[in-house]
Amino acid sequence: MVEETVKPTDLTLDQVKPEINLTSTHHHESNGCLNCAKPIAEKFCPNCGQKSTTHRYSIAHFVEHDFIHGVWHVDKGLLFTVKELFTRPGHSIREYIQGRRASHFSFVTLILLILTASTLLAPYLHIKMSDLIPMRTKNVMNSFEEFVTKYPKIFIVILIPFNSIFSFLWFRKARFNFSEHLVANSYKAAAELIIGLLFTVLMIFYTNLKILTIVYFSVIMPIVFFYGIWFYYQLFTNCGYSKKALFFRSFGVILSIAIFQAIFGFLWGMFQMMSMK
């Protein structure tokens, strides 16, 4: 007799547990595993090992579970998570938020690992990121712009809550709470950090400043820009938006954060000039 396999389907937040109010903080036990859709009757799924009860994200769960667990535990799923982030980023993270979490690597641990790797590689760099900025631009940069140029990876992490605010505002109809936007944008930031880490490795073995500058501004930055649109477009698929609306709103999130950075940098520069008088 051939056993019939049950394939997981792409669910919306409303479909994860039809009988559950979206304001609930838990995905309660049911007859099917949220991660692999296999029948489940105990605390853990016998097929994939995921708990039968998973939390919907909240600020408390974000801090108490993911941050603390991410710092002190290194789970399975690193290669799987990296692969998913660059093959189906939005779909994968939406499924993670909906409850399929057994195969994913903690976003906190992933970010910490990338930052640690970048720190360990730093002594081997012959060229710094600030060297890619034209001298004329350096001479007029304020302290905020200097920080962004000197510590681009740290700045990506700092931007996570601001990206989350804008994605929350642009995609309100998706009914993701703010903590779920934080989770999604943390994974997006991890992917951007991985791209930056690959460029750091390139800078170790290749030291032609002119070519590296062209690669960074003509290849790396456009990749990060279009990755963001791709990420949000997939993340909010099946949330009630048309394809045009998805693209427009995804672009809107990226544009909003760029405008926010520009305005903040301008105001910071004005404040710095006034304080020097």
Q: Report residue 192 as tokens.
A: 């951007």
pLDDT tens digit sequence for 82-126: 999 999 999 999 999 988 887 888 899 899 999 999 999 999 998
The answer on pLDDT for 39 being more than 60 is: yes
pLDDT value at residue 181: 96
pLDDT value at residue 254: 97
The answer on pLDDT for 47 being more than 80 is: no
Model confidence, pTM: 0.74
Tell me the pLDDT of the chain averaged across its residues. 82
- Output 152 or 31, whichever has higher pLDDT: 152
pLDDT tens digit sequence for 14-24: 444 433 344 44
Ordered by start, the domain boundaries in the chain are 1-56, 59-276
Reduced 3-state DSSP string for the chain: CCCCCCCCCCCCHHHHCCCCCCCCCEECCCCECCCCCCECCCCECCCCCCECCEECCCHHHHHHHHHHHHHHCCCCCHHHHHHHHHHCHHHHHHHHHHCCCCCCCCHHHHHHHHHHHHHHHHHHCCCCHHHHCCHHHHCCCCHHHHHHHHCHHHHHHHCHHHHHHHHHHHCHHHCCCHHHHHHHHHHHHHHHHHHHHHHHHHHHHCCCHHHHHHHHHHHHHHHHHHHHHHHHHHHCCCCCCCHHHHHHHHHHHHHHHHHHHHHHHHHHHHHHHHHHC
Share of the chain above pLDDT 90, in %: 48
